[in-house]
Amino acid sequence: MLTFTTGEVVTVSGDGLIGRRPMPQPGESFAHLVQIVDRGLSVSKTHLEFGEHDGGLWVADRFSSNGTVVRRPGEDGLRCEPGRRVQVPRGSRVEIGEQAFTVA
């Protein structure tokens, strides 16, 4: 379950994209396209990709304008390298532009 600072709560399984207007590239297919409201336009149209691996969640920045930061419980923030998957354990906060979501 992803709880966004915008108040939206989304239950996900499998893979997906998050952004203002997430769009797969030609030939890509995703189970979820999670659109979030960001009036300040700090979130890119297709900001990040997510998926499951060994029962956990991972995210990968999709070369967004403002980047993605993962804040795991008890650790400093980790800026995601575009295109590289980062494991996100439950209780983590993922910052995308001026918005964020927590993983439950």
85 has pLDDT over 90: yes
Q: What is the pTM of this model?
A: 0.93
55 has pLDDT over 90: no
Express as a percent the part of the chain with pLDDT over 90: 91
Residue count of the chain, please give it. Answer: 104
What average pLDDT does range 22-34 have in this prediction? 96
Q: Are 25 and 19 in contact, with CB atoms under 8 Å apart?
A: no
25 has pLDDT over 90: yes
CA distance 61 to 49: 6
What average pLDDT does range 38-59 have in this prediction? 94
Average model confidence (pLDDT) across the chain: 95
CA distance 2 to 102: 6
